[in-house]
Structure 1
Amino acid sequence: MDTGPLFSFLALDLLLICVPGADWAYVIAAGVRGRSVGRAVAGLMAGYALHTALAVAGLSVLVAGSPGLLTALTVAGAGYLLWLGWSVLRRPAVPQAAGAGADGGTDGGDGGADGFWRGAAISGLNPKALLLYLSVLPQFLVTQGGHPPVALQTAVLGALHMACCTAVYLTVGLLARRLLAARPTAARAVSRTSGAAMLGIGALLLAQHAL
């Protein structure tokens, strides 16, 4: 696969990843509450792995060609963002006391398997992921002869996206733990900002499909 499309995709992909959204809010909350950032990121990557597998299988092309199905998925993602945003605003993330639920232990919230599966649901229904896999990624596939099969190119780009997400989200979550753990007021402010952003994105998506 040519390096030109790879680097172009990498630049655009990093730009999209670095725009705060539902994924950021989730890893920040995990870091602030003393839960396992690694488990939260692993859950998010499971959702993106599913997107990649569907794209490799060609299902993304079918979804993109079915306006009704694409609308249904987008509305479902928007509804999930609204629910998450409201939940965050009602219960903003606050620093967890040392030893109380660290690394997804005994806090009973998003620790353990529950935290993993919530992360998978967040990325699986993330409208930004639908935009990437259905609209952005296909633009970097080369279909002329002499190039690897489209399925292989799709797998490579999907794996590159997951690698970039892993690096960025681990950094965000660990920085949140380090910088906000001793600053409850700042942690609540960041959490509420993330919740408001999710509400805004979800409402905007629903409004666009209602017009």
Structure 2
Amino acid sequence: MPVASLLTFWGVAALLIAVPGPDWAFAINAGLRRQVVPAAGGIVLGYLAMTLVVAAGLGLLISATPAALATLTVVGGVYLVWLGSKIVRSPATPPGAAEVPAGGRLRTLAQGMAVSGLNPKGLLVFVAMLPQFTDPAASWPLPLQLAALGLTFTATCGAVYLAVGAAADGLLRARPAVARLVSRISGVAMILIGALLLLERLL
């Protein structure tokens, strides 16, 4: 596919990723727990799964099926509210030099996959935006073009959320009170986003 189209898409994707949302809130909270890599890795795996869904043509089917999209929206909204409530009740505190248990890293990886993979807004962005940057006359098949665009978005997410989590860890490690406050704010953000998803679907 044309390199210019890929670069243009990358610019648009970077702007979308720069807008704070549930991924940002999750990455910040994970950074405060010194679990930056598993958090970013989970988010990447979630968007990688979404890329495969869209490249295989299932994204259009889901977005065109009201029941499937409603189910995804409700499940994603409920999960964000649950995870945000959990963070508000137990805000992150930088553990200092303490080693993060392997079970904690795996749990964070799975949570990151759920945060991005269950995001119906993310699926709609993939379905609505990616096709605009494809070229039916290009030598690459359409599924391969969609996969390339999705992988570009996913790789950019990985870089951004690694930086966000590392910044949260580096800036707030020595400020436990501020870290707890920021953690609670990220939890509240998840609850609000999840609640908006539910209200949008149920009203």
Q: Do both proteins adopt the same fold according to a TM-score greater than 0.5, normalized to the shorter chain? A: yes
Give deviations 1:53-102, integer Å, cap 9, x for gaps.
11111111111221221121111111111111111111111111322x3x
Q: Given that residues 141 and 153 in structure 1 are in contact (C-alpha distance below 8 angstroms), is that contact kept between their aligned partners in structure 2?
A: yes
Name the counterpart of 1:20. 20
Give deviations 1:151-202, integer Å, cap 9, x for gaps.
0111100110111011101111111111011111221221122111111111
Name the counterpart of 2:29. 29
1:105 aligns with 2:92: no
Amino acid of the residue matched to residue 205 of structure 1? L
Name the counterpart of 1:157. 149
Amino acid of the residue matched to residue 122 of structure 1? V
Alpha-carbon distance in 2 for matches of 1:127, 1:55: 13
Alpha-carbon distance in 1 for matches of 2:120, 2:83: 13
Alpha-carbon distance in 2 for matches of 1:54, 1:48: 10
1:118 aligns with 2:114: no
Name the counterpart of 2:169. 177
Name the counterpart of 1:130. 123
Aligned residue for 1:34, secondary structure, equals coil
Give deviations 1:101-138, integer Å, cap 9, x for gaps.
3xx327x6x32x22222221121112332232222222
Once the two structures are superposed, the pairs formed by residues 21-100 of structure 1 within 5 Å of their partners are: 21-35=21-35, 37-99=36-98
1:166 aligns with 2:162: no
Alpha-carbon distance in 2 for matches of 1:75, 1:8: 33
- The structure whose residues are more often helix, as a share, is 2
Q: Given that residues 92 and 191 in structure 1 are in contact (C-alpha distance below 8 angstroms), is that contact kept between their aligned partners in structure 2?
A: yes
RMSD: 1.7
Q: Given that residues 28 and 176 in structure 1 are in contact (C-alpha distance below 8 angstroms), is that contact kept between their aligned partners in structure 2?
A: yes
Alpha-carbon distance in 2 for matches of 1:77, 1:15: 23
Aligned residue for 2:71, secondary structure, equals helix
Give the Å deviation of 1:147.
Answer: 4.2
Alpha-carbon distance in 1 for matches of 2:93, 2:123: 31
Q: Indicate how the Cα distance of structure 1 residues 65 and 184 shifts in structure 2: closer, same or farther if over 3 A, else same.
A: same
Alpha-carbon distance in 2 for matches of 1:204, 1:30: 23
Q: Indicate how the Cα distance of structure 1 residues 23 and 11 shifts in structure 2: closer, same or farther if over 3 A, else same.
A: same
Aligned residue for 1:47, secondary structure, equals helix
Alpha-carbon distance in 2 for matches of 1:183, 1:153: 45
Alpha-carbon distance in 2 for matches of 1:60, 1:120: 17
Structure 1 portions without partners, runs of 5+: none
Alpha-carbon distance in 1 for matches of 2:101, 2:80: 26
Give the Å deviation of 1:7.
Answer: 2.7
Identity %: 46
